[in-house]
């Protein structure tokens, strides 16, 4: 949780992942989980910032599965798990669960990485995923 929280305030920037300088939601998840040794760092490119509005391919979910994530009941999501939210045609926004009330995510409308109330995006919730046993 400390690693995810250390990104709060990083400006939002499509297709980037540099703490303090700019990141989008996919690069935030990759960096946080790689920095704590849960996954190997990888480059999700190429993708256009608005691919989820024009393509039916759930690229974000496919990437989660490729890293060994398994889907869980959202009500059972624990700190460190990932909540996926529907934007465009499918689940295309990810956030890291901090506790039963909050998430950390690179949120374009806020122009930065924020710690938000989990209920703020509840109407868009698609699924929950874990990288842990």
DSSP string, 32-53: HHHHTTSS------S--TTHHH
The per-residue pLDDT for 42 is: 84
Q: Where are the alpha helices (DSSP H) in the chain?
A: 2-5, 25-35, 51-54, 59-66
Q: Count of CB atoms within 10 A of residue 72's CB?
A: 16
Dig out the tokens for 18 from the structure: 């540099």
Domain span at residue 16? 2-130
Q: Where are the alpha helices (DSSP H) in 6-118?
A: 25-35, 51-54, 59-66
What CATH number did the domain enclosing 11 receive?
A: 3.90.1720.10
The per-residue pLDDT for 72 is: 97
pLDDT at 54 over 80: no
pLDDT at 124 over 80: yes
Total structural domains within the chain: 1
Find the mean pLDDT for residues 21-35.
Answer: 95
pLDDT at 78 over 90: yes
pTM score > 0.85 for this model? yes
The per-residue pLDDT for 22 is: 97
C-alpha 20/C-alpha 12 separation (Å) is 10
Q: With H, G, I as helix, E, B as strand and everything else as coil, classify residue 8.
A: coil
């Amino acid at each position: 949780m400390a690693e995810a929280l250390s990104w709060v305030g990083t400006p939002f920037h499509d297709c980037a992942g540099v703490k303090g300088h700019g990141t989008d939601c996919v690069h935030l998840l990759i960096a946080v989980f790689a920095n704590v040794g849960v996954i190997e760092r990888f480059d999700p490119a190429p993708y256009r910032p608005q691919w989820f509005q024009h393509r039916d391919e759930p690229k974000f979910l496919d990437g989660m599965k490729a890293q060994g994530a398994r889907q869980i009941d959202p009500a059972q999501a624990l700190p460190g798990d990932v909540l996926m939210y529907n934007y465009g045609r499918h689940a295309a926004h990810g956030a890291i669960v901090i506790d039963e009330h909050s998430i950390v995510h690179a949120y374009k409308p806020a122009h930065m990485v924020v710690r938000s109330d989990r209920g703020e995006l509840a109407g868009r919730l698609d699924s929950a995923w874990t990288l842990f046993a």
